[in-house]
Amino acid sequence: MPITLGDIPQQPRDEAFALTADFKADNHPNKVSLSAGVYRDGDSKPWVLSSVREAKRILHETTDLDHEYLPIQGLDSFLDAAKDLILGKEAAATANAVSLQTISGTGANHVGAAFLGQKLQPKNVFISDPTWSNHHLVWTVGAPNVTQRKYPYYDFSNHTLDFDGMMSTLEAEAEENDVVILHACSHNPTGADPSREQWQSLARLFKQKKLFAFFDSAYQGFATGDVEADGWAVRHFQQTLFGECSAEENPSSAPPGMCIAQSFAKNFGLYGERVGAFHLILPRQTQADGAKSELLRLVRAEISNPPLFGARIVQTVLSDAKLRAMWENDLRVMSSRITKMRSLLRQAIEEDPNSGDWSRLESQIGMFTFTGLSENQVLRLREVHHIYLMNNGRISLSGVNEGNVKYIAEAFNEVSRQ
pLDDT in tens, 202-225: 999 999 999 999 999 999 999 999
pLDDT digits (tens, 9 = 90+) for 88-105: 999 888 889 999 999 999
φ/ψ (deg, to 5) at 14? -65, 125
How far apart CA 233 and CA 196 sit, in angstroms, is: 7
The SS3 call for residue 371 is: coil
Q: Are 408 and 32 in contact (CB under 8 A)?
A: yes
Annotation marks residue 24 as catalytic: no
CATH T-level assignment (fold) for domain 14-47+334-416: Aspartate Aminotransferase, domain 1 (3.90.1150)
Annotation marks residue 83 as catalytic: no
Q: Taking the model in full, what pTM does it have?
A: 0.93
User: Among 93, 99, 63, which residue's Cα sits nearest to residue 78?
Assistant: 99
Q: Are 280 and 119 in contact (CB under 8 A)?
A: no
What is the identity of the amino acid at 173? Answer: E
Stretch 228-242: mean pLDDT, rounded?
A: 95
Annotation marks residue 31 as catalytic: no
Say if domain 76-319 classifies as CATH 3.30.470.10: no
For residue 7, what pLDDT is reported? 80
Catalytic residue among 193, 216, 230, 330: 216
Catalytic residue among 83, 207, 266, 292: 266
Domain 14-47+334-416 matches domain 76-319 at the CATH topology level: no
Which range has the worst mean pLDDT, 107-111, 310-314, 351-355?
Answer: 351-355
Q: Looking at the predicted structure, is the pLDDT value of residue 311 above 90?
A: yes
For residue 393, what pLDDT is reported? 92
How far apart CA 375 and CA 310 sit, in angstroms, is: 37
Q: What is the residue extent of each domain of the chain?
A: 14-47+334-416, 76-319
